[in-house]
């Protein structure tokens, strides 16, 4: 990395999709254990960071619904970077929002990772990418995965990251995917609480999760669709009936599966062609109205 300090930098903060998500247990510290395959997509926010004349951190955003105070992960990331690096310069952040909130697409976590990368560039790169990823663990469980360059398997609360081998990534990278968020969001804490409500809790045994993942990786002909399990689909579908209703509608009309990403409410579909993607989007808007968020994206990653 170039160690020359800069005055103003721009970072792309990609959204992510959980292509497989098994919640396996609740830890004593309140966090949940999971096994998940996660890919970044070529859609996301943009964060501009510029050195300011004082020592404060300021955040502005083009979406007025986004908090710009200490509750925003960008500011929390900036403060953590200052503690770990000792760099005391103030920074003004400008966030251009694309990834919707309450979607399960990791928007806030990606913005935090972007803030760490941006500040490191402004400071002349005093920390390595590994050190930045280590800092991000304390900011949010999803943050570390945004320092990966290709689709990964994440375990623990999200801090244990294992890259998929290039031949496996090649089955994902470059694939077109249609990402959809209905006109409502889902609180992550609430979703985990619903998952833990049954007695016993509705967790997937870790051995089953690992076997499912292993089977998919070892079958070189298995399509990305075969990964599509998400522990949250049952409890969230029970509360938000629009999601299973839409899933059934798409199965009947197109023979395609609607997959939940993270704890929702965003979902994704693997279209066969661009024309099918447009037809699916039209069908979703007909049912959910004009306020639905729909975007075509690609899975991204380095296959080298």
Catalytic residues: 16, 142
DSSP 102-135: TSSS-HHHHHHHHHHHHHHHHTT--S-HHHHHHH
- Helices 107-122 and 129-137 cross at an angle (nearest 10°) of 140
- Helices 242-254 and 274-288 cross at an angle (nearest 10°) of 140
For 157, phi then psi, to 5°, come to -90, 5
CA distance 255 to 232: 22
Q: What is the dihedral of CA 136, 301, 3, 143, to 10 degrees?
A: -10
CA distance 224 to 140: 27
Q: Given its phi and psi angles, is residue 264 left (phi above 0), alpha (psi -120 to 50 degrees) or beta?
A: left
Question: Taken in order 115, 73, 290, 300, is the CA torsion positive or negative?
Answer: positive
């Amino acid at each position: 990395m170039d160690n020359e300090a800069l005055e103003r930098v721009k970072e792309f903060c990609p959204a992510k999709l959980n292509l497989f998500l098994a919640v396996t247990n609740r830890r004593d510290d309140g966090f949940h254990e999971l096994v998940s395959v996660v890919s970044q997509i070529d859609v996301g926010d943009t964060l501009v960071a510029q050195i300011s004349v004082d020592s404060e951190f300021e955040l502005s955003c083009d979406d007025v619904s986004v908090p710009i105070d200490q509750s925003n992960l960008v500011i929390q990331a900036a403060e953590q970077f200052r503690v770990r690096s000792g760099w005391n310069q103030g920074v003004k952040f400008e966030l251009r929002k694309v990834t919707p909130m309450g979607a399960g697409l990791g928007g806030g976590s990606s913005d935090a990772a972007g803030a760490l990368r941006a500040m490191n560039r402004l400071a002349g790169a005093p920390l390595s990418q590994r050190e930045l990823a280590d800092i991000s663990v304390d900011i949010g469980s999803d943050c570390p995965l945004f320092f990966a360059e290709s689709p990964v398997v994440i375990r623990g609360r999200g801090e244990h990251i294992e890259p998929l081998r290039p031949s496996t990534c090649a089955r994902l990278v470059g694939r077109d995917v249609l990402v959809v968020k209905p006109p409502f969001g889902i609180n992550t804490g609430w979703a985990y609480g619903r998952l833990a409500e049954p007695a016993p809790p509705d967790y997937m045994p870790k051995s089953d999760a690992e076997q499912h993942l292993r089977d998919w990786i070892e079958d070189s002909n298995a399509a990305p669709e075969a990964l599509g399990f998400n522990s949250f689909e049952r409890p969230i579908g029970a509360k938000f009936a629009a999601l299973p209703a839409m899933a059934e509608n798409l199965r009947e009309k197109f023979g395609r599966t609607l997959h939940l990403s993270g704890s929702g409410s965003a979902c994704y579909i693997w279209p066969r062609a661009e024309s099918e993607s447009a037809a699916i989007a039209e069908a979703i808007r007909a049912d959910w109205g004009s306020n639905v968020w729909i975007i075509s994206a690609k899975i991204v990653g380095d296959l080298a």
